[in-house]
Amino acid sequence: MDERPGLSDQYRKSSPWPMFVAVGLALFEVGIVLADVLFPVAVGGMLMFVGSVVGILRESEYIADPWKALVVCAGLAFAVGGLLWTQTAGSVQVRGTAILVGGVVLLVGGVVGALWQPSAA
């Protein structure tokens, strides 16, 4: 009888990223609902969500360079945030603004990170 059915020594037991994805989405939504006071929380939640998704992709080896993925995510954020900001009004427009601001931070972080990382010899 096997004491640990379904587990193998070659696999890690768990990944921390799904928890950060959930917390990031929750913070983003709370920041949007209370945008008058917690707009920075919405932007931070969006950054946590995107960073966690990039971390999952890097950990599972779907991508080799997380900085390039952050720049791609920034482009997607500009597209989605710009569409929401220009085509809607009210609370949905606030969501678009939060996504646009998060896209700027992602772009700056991705470019600076790509320039700052040591080159492979």
- What are the sequence ranges of the domains in the chain? 17-116
The structure tokens 């500009």 sit at: 78
Residues 85-107: tens digit of each pLDDT: 999 888 788 889 999 999 999 99
Question: Within 10 Å of residue 16's Cβ, how many Cβ atoms?
Answer: 10
Residues 51-70: tens digit of each pLDDT: 999 999 998 899 999 999 99
Closest by alpha carbon to 102, among 33, 27, 34?
27
Alpha carbon of 114 to those of 28, 45, 51, 103: distances in Å? Answer: 26, 23, 15, 16
Of 28-32, 33-37, 72-76, 93-97, the range with the highest mean pLDDT is: 72-76
pLDDT for 119 beyond 90? no
